[in-house]
Amino acid sequence: MKEFFCGTSEITGARFSIHPMSDRFVDIILSSLKETDTTKVWMKSDDVSTCVRGRSEHVFDVVKAIYLNASKGGDHVVLNATFSNGCPGDSAGDAFMAEDSILMNDELSQKINQEVATQFALYPLGFLGYMDVIIDQIKTVDQHGVFSGGVHYASRLDGDAKKVFAALESAFESARNSDSSHIVMTVTMSANSPSRKEGQ
Amino acid sequence: MKEFFCGTSEITGARFSIHPMSDRFVDIILSSLKETDTTKVWMKSDDVSTCVRGRSEHVFDVVKAIYLNASKGGDHVVLNATFSNGCPGDSAGDAFMAEDSILMNDELSQKINQEVATQFALYPLGFLGYMDVIIDQIKTVDQHGVFSGGVHYASRLDGDAKKVFAALESAFESARNSDSSHIVMTVTMSANSPSRKEGQ
Ligand SMILES: [Ca+2]
């Protein structure tokens, strides 16, 4: 039950899944995992999703690299991720908080250009002023030049995946510095969608 | 900007996407939409996700039916959904609050047996006691006989999709009756996963 008592730890986690809309989905997922350096995060996969935990910058670095590696072949690939900060870690996770800040996958990720369409939502918990945090972070993503407007229950970002990830990470980190002690951010990111090619 | 001011409306919404891990993903999605009666919900799809809004029971009925129709052919299909209550509607959405309670897809859904593995999380916003609501709703899903325990950042449900949906809807409705005025629930549901068959 210890996951239920949240509020102080600095460990960031992401629970995510990668969905290649292809008969080759198993190969695509396995090779994207293989091409990604995950040595600086705690990581565990089950039959529904994968969880990575550690320093916030490494969590974003790893999720971004896995997604870029999965989508670079041109398949329609969707990422669904929930980023979370404010639930305490455990000894297995906290061990990774001692890692340095050098990103293990940035050089590889910088070489991959991939247009994506993204919808995200931010949920600052345990805090009456949560709407102010959300509005502030819309301004943050807008400064990154990828904000495309609001839709019901989400905000939309379009552009190169690296820029979109930078905006998402920036919004998440700024929200962490708000008065909310527990921040959750959901992300749905789509690459190479045939609907998109048809002009949506 | 009006979506940013939340708190009073009874309209429920779900923003979701269906991911068939198959080369036939377009056909699978289009036929599952065609087989589902969506007359009692406001519905709009874009290239990233689909949003349905209306009375809570119809939102769950429609998402469940679309997912069952997409997965009944045996393909590995994942649902990612965020259910939300507490953001105000608009005239287009509120029109659907006048519908009666008779479910349009229940007869069809009852005929489809589909084992699923599910991870979900509940986020009661604007409320300091959010952890109590989460713990109460773990008890609610446990009463439905599908709760398999906690994982980092989520709770796991296993069983027939109809039972799992009943547990999710029950938890969501109970959370709506809590002191939180804005309830968000994320769901990742997987059917026909090859990882699962291998015994995970
Ligand atoms: Ca309520």
Residue A78: how many CA atoms within 13 Å on its side-chain side? 27
pLDDT digits (tens, 9 = 90+) for B46-56: 999 999 999 99
- Per-residue exposure over A77-87, b if at least 16 CB sit within 10 Å of its own CB, e if not: bbbbbbbbbbb
Length of chain A, in residues:
200
Domain assignments of chain A as residue spans, ordered by start? 2-91+109-197
pLDDT given at position A127 = 84
Structure-token pair, residue B98: 């006048």
CATH class of B8-84+105-197: alpha beta
pLDDT at B6 over 80: no
pLDDT at B142 over 80: yes
Name the band, by pLDDT with cuts 50, 70 and 90, for residue A197: low
Compute the nearest-CA separation of A56 from chain B (Å). 15
Measure CB to CB from residue A125 to each of B23, B123, B195 and give the nearest one. B123
A126: left (phi over 0), alpha (psi -120 to 50) or beta: left
What is the rounded average pLDDT of the residues B124-137? 90
Measure CB to CB from residue A82 to each of B3, B84, B153 and give the nearest one. B153
Structure-token pair, residue B147: 């709760």
Per DSSP (E only), the strands in chain A are 12-20, 42-45, 50-54, 77-85, 115-125, 147-151, 154-160, 182-191
pLDDT given at position B32 = 97
Q: Sign of dihedral through CA atoms B112, B113, B118, B123?
A: positive
The Cα B7–Cα A34 span in angstroms is: 45
pLDDT given at position B199 = 42
- Is A2-91+109-197 assigned to CATH 3.30.70.930? yes
pLDDT given at position B27 = 97
User: Any CB–CB contact under 8 A between A194 and chain B?
Assistant: yes
Q: Cβ contact (<8 Å) for B196 and A49?
A: no
Name the band, by pLDDT with cuts 50, 70 and 90, for residue A166: very high
User: Any CB–CB contact under 8 A between B152 and chain A?
Assistant: yes
The Cα B4–Cα B88 span in angstroms is: 9
Mean pLDDT computed over every residue of chain A:
92
A30: Cβ–Cβ under 8 A, 6 or more apart, which residues? none
pLDDT given at position A196 = 67
Taking contacts as CB-CB distances below 8 angstroms, the residues of chain A near B197 are: none
A21: left (phi over 0), alpha (psi -120 to 50) or beta: beta
pLDDT digits (tens, 9 = 90+) for B71-93: 999 999 999 999 999 877 778 89
What is the rounded average pLDDT of the residues A80-105? 91
pLDDT given at position B118 = 98
Structure-token pair, residue A130: 């949560």
